[in-house]
Amino acid sequence: MSLGDLPCVDFVELATEYLEGALSVEQRLVMERHLAFCAPCVDYMEQMRATIAATGTLREEDVPEPVVEPLMAAFRALTNGRS
Protein backbone atom coordinates (compact mmCIF):
# COMPACT_ATOMS: atom_id res chain seq x y z
CA MET A 1 0.00 0.00 0.00
CA SER A 2 1.37 3.41 -0.88
CA LEU A 3 0.08 6.74 0.32
CA GLY A 4 -0.30 7.65 -3.34
CA ASP A 5 -3.85 6.28 -3.29
CA LEU A 6 -5.00 9.46 -1.62
CA PRO A 7 -2.75 12.51 -1.28
CA CYS A 8 -3.25 14.70 1.80
CA VAL A 9 -4.62 17.53 -0.35
CA ASP A 10 -7.58 15.25 -1.20
CA PHE A 11 -7.77 13.66 2.24
CA VAL A 12 -8.55 16.98 3.94
CA GLU A 13 -11.53 17.59 1.65
CA LEU A 14 -13.08 14.27 2.73
CA ALA A 15 -12.67 14.93 6.46
CA THR A 16 -16.30 15.89 7.11
CA GLU A 17 -17.72 13.10 4.95
CA TYR A 18 -15.55 10.75 7.00
CA LEU A 19 -16.68 12.15 10.37
CA GLU A 20 -20.31 12.10 9.19
CA GLY A 21 -20.09 8.46 8.18
CA ALA A 22 -21.06 9.39 4.62
CA LEU A 23 -18.30 7.50 2.82
CA SER A 24 -18.58 4.09 1.19
CA VAL A 25 -16.80 1.20 2.91
CA GLU A 26 -14.03 1.37 0.28
CA GLN A 27 -13.52 5.13 0.68
CA ARG A 28 -13.53 4.73 4.43
CA LEU A 29 -10.79 2.09 4.24
CA VAL A 30 -8.69 4.33 2.01
CA MET A 31 -9.06 7.16 4.56
CA GLU A 32 -8.14 4.89 7.45
CA ARG A 33 -5.12 3.48 5.61
CA HIS A 34 -4.00 7.03 4.94
CA LEU A 35 -4.39 7.91 8.62
CA ALA A 36 -2.36 4.86 9.62
CA PHE A 37 0.60 6.19 7.66
CA CYS A 38 0.22 9.96 7.80
CA ALA A 39 0.77 11.72 11.14
CA PRO A 40 0.04 15.23 9.76
CA CYS A 41 -3.40 14.11 8.57
CA VAL A 42 -4.05 12.58 12.01
CA ASP A 43 -3.25 16.04 13.39
CA TYR A 44 -5.54 17.63 10.81
CA MET A 45 -8.42 15.42 12.00
CA GLU A 46 -7.60 16.34 15.61
CA GLN A 47 -7.74 20.02 14.61
CA MET A 48 -11.17 19.41 13.10
CA ARG A 49 -12.41 17.71 16.27
CA ALA A 50 -11.03 20.52 18.44
CA THR A 51 -12.73 23.03 16.13
CA ILE A 52 -16.07 21.28 16.51
CA ALA A 53 -15.64 21.21 20.29
CA ALA A 54 -14.76 24.93 20.43
CA THR A 55 -17.73 25.81 18.21
CA GLY A 56 -19.98 23.80 20.52
CA THR A 57 -19.16 26.05 23.47
CA LEU A 58 -20.33 29.26 21.80
CA ARG A 59 -22.87 31.03 23.92
CA GLU A 60 -25.61 33.20 22.57
CA GLU A 61 -24.76 36.22 24.70
CA ASP A 62 -25.29 38.61 21.83
CA VAL A 63 -28.87 37.45 21.32
CA PRO A 64 -31.16 39.27 23.76
CA GLU A 65 -33.64 37.44 25.96
CA PRO A 66 -36.88 36.58 24.19
CA VAL A 67 -39.80 38.91 24.80
CA VAL A 68 -42.15 36.24 26.04
CA GLU A 69 -45.19 38.08 27.35
CA PRO A 70 -46.80 39.22 24.08
CA LEU A 71 -46.37 35.68 22.78
CA MET A 72 -47.96 34.26 25.91
CA ALA A 73 -50.92 36.58 25.39
CA ALA A 74 -51.28 35.39 21.80
CA PHE A 75 -50.99 31.77 22.94
CA ARG A 76 -53.67 32.33 25.58
CA ALA A 77 -55.98 34.02 23.10
CA LEU A 78 -55.65 31.31 20.47
CA THR A 79 -55.90 28.33 22.78
CA ASN A 80 -58.40 30.02 25.07
CA GLY A 81 -60.78 27.89 27.06
CA ARG A 82 -59.16 24.56 26.33
CA SER A 83 -57.43 23.90 29.63
Partner 1 sequence: MLALLRAGDENAFRGLVGRYDRAMRRLALSFVASASVADEVVQETWLAVIQGLDGFEGRSSLKTWMFQILVNRARSRGAREQRTTPMSSLMALDASVEEGPTVDPDRFLPAGHPVAGYWALTPNRFFELPEERLLAEETSRVVAEAIARLPSRQQQVIGLRDVDGWEAEEVCASLGISAANQRVLLHRARAAVRAELEEYFAAEVVNA
**Where does this chain bind partner 1 (CB under 8 A)?**
3, 7-10, 12-13, 15-17, 20, 22, 38-41, 43-44, 46-60, 63, 66, 68, 70-72, 74-76, 78-83
Give the DSSP letter of residue 64. P
Residue 31 beta carbon to partner 1: minimum distance, rounded to whole angstroms: 14
Residue 52 beta carbon to partner 1: minimum distance, rounded to whole angstroms: 6
Please say which residue, 32 or 47, places its beta carbon nearer to partner 1.
Answer: 47
User: What does 2-49 look like in DSSP terms, one character per residue?
Assistant: -GGGS-HHHHGGGHHHHHTT-S-HHHHHHHHHHHHH-HHHHHHHHHHH
Residue 28 beta carbon to partner 1: minimum distance, rounded to whole angstroms: 15
Q: How many Å from the N-terminal Cα to the C-terminal Cα in the chain?
A: 69
